[in-house]
Amino acid sequence: MNEFGYEKLEVWKRSVELSCNIISIVDKPDTPRKHLRLFEQLEGASTSVPMNIAEGKGRYSKKEFVHFLYIARGSLYETVTLLEIFSKLTWLDKKDFACIKDEAKEIAKMLNSLINSIKNT
């Protein structure tokens, strides 16, 4: 079976894994779900990263692809900010937060490199 173009991108693969890890981790907190909106926001932001990479890759111009990569990067930053809030509220283990944040930093570097390589071609 043929792959979609985005499936070859390591940054897409790693952001899918990050999103899956986040969804698994946020299922763990034993907290009253009166803040359900925050959990939904976190799931939405984390899944937005690989989805925007994929959508951008499916566009017809480099300019559009870069635009979607910027959106993906913004969603990544939103994800980390929400995780920081979860950590401060003790809904997320500090060790889990540190691991996710490290991976998010690597994904951000990969996104920045991809953006720069596309803009410079």
Q: Where are the domains of the chain?
A: 9-25+35-119
Instruction: Read off φ and ψ for residue 93, nearest 5 degrees.
Output: -60, 135
Token pair for 20: 């899956």
Measured distance CA(65)–CA(96) in Å, rounded: 31
Q: Global pTM? A: 0.93
Q: Are 68 and 56 in contact (CB under 8 A)?
A: yes
Considering the four listed CATH numbers 1.20.1440.60, 2.60.120.10, 3.40.1190.20, 3.40.50.300, the one that applies to the domain covering 9-25+35-119 is 1.20.1440.60
Q: Are 92 and 68 in contact (CB under 8 A)?
A: no
pLDDT per position as a tens digit, 18-76: 999 999 988 776 666 667 889 899 999 999 999 999 999 999 899 999 999 999 999 99
